[in-house]
Amino acid sequence: MKSSPEAGRSPAKIIVAGSRGVGKTTFVGSVSDTDPITVEAATDIGRITLHPDLVLYLFGTSEAPQSGFGGALGAVVLVDARRIEDAFATISYFEDGGFDVPFLVAVNMFDGELRYELDELREALAVRPDVPLTTCDARDPASTAKTLQELVSYTMNGGGSDHTSPPELPG
């Protein structure tokens, strides 16, 4: 039987991307209802029930997102605050529409202080002005939940210039 427990509703998927060791498994684990399942090296699946009718599946990966991620709502690109430059490849992948979903960039703080202002980081990482840039603590469920919330509201508001909201209708 393939019927899902969510009775006909297709669960929403969110991708958690980023280079090796940025905290993807930690992020997915801290926000999930259950321990993340590692399906293969560096790919995690977690699940969070925001509401009985709203289940989010989280896919943590450092590979280019695969076909199974199709229909994803959006992506969190995690950045290690101590190794900012490692994030270039992933950010440009999403910016160039390699995987066409709205995304935000979250700098995982690893306890440290951010050495740069977010504005400076945005410039250094060449993150478009319309893409949200934020910080998080991947180990803290409240922090990861807030990051997901931000992504979901960004997505609902059009998710950047490539996904502009429809023109206002008269009346």
Q: Give the interface with Mg ion as residue ranges (CB under 5 A).
A: 24-25, 42
Contact status: 22 vs ligand GTP (CB under 6 A)? yes
What are the C-alpha distances in Å from 54 to residues 28, 104, 128? 17, 21, 30
Q: Are 91 and 46 in contact (CB under 8 A)?
A: no
Tokens at 91, concatenated: 């950010």
Q: Is the Cβ of residue 151 or residue 160 nearer to ligand GTP in the bound state?
A: 151
What are the C-alpha distances in Å from 147 to residues 31, 38, 46? 10, 22, 15
Least distance in angstroms from the C-beta of 102 to ligand GTP: 21
- Determine which residue in the list 62, 90, 144, 147 makes contact with ligand GTP, applying CB under 6 A: 62
The number of residues that bind ligand GTP (CB under 6 A) is 18
Q: Point out which span in 64-72, 93-101, 122-130, 134-142 binds ligand GTP (CB under 6 A).
A: 134-142
Quote the crossing angle between the two packed helices 24-31 and 141-156, to the nearest 10°.
90
Amino acid sitting at position 94? F
Q: Which residues bind ligand GTP (CB under 6 A)?
A: 18, 20-26, 42, 60, 62, 108-111, 137-139
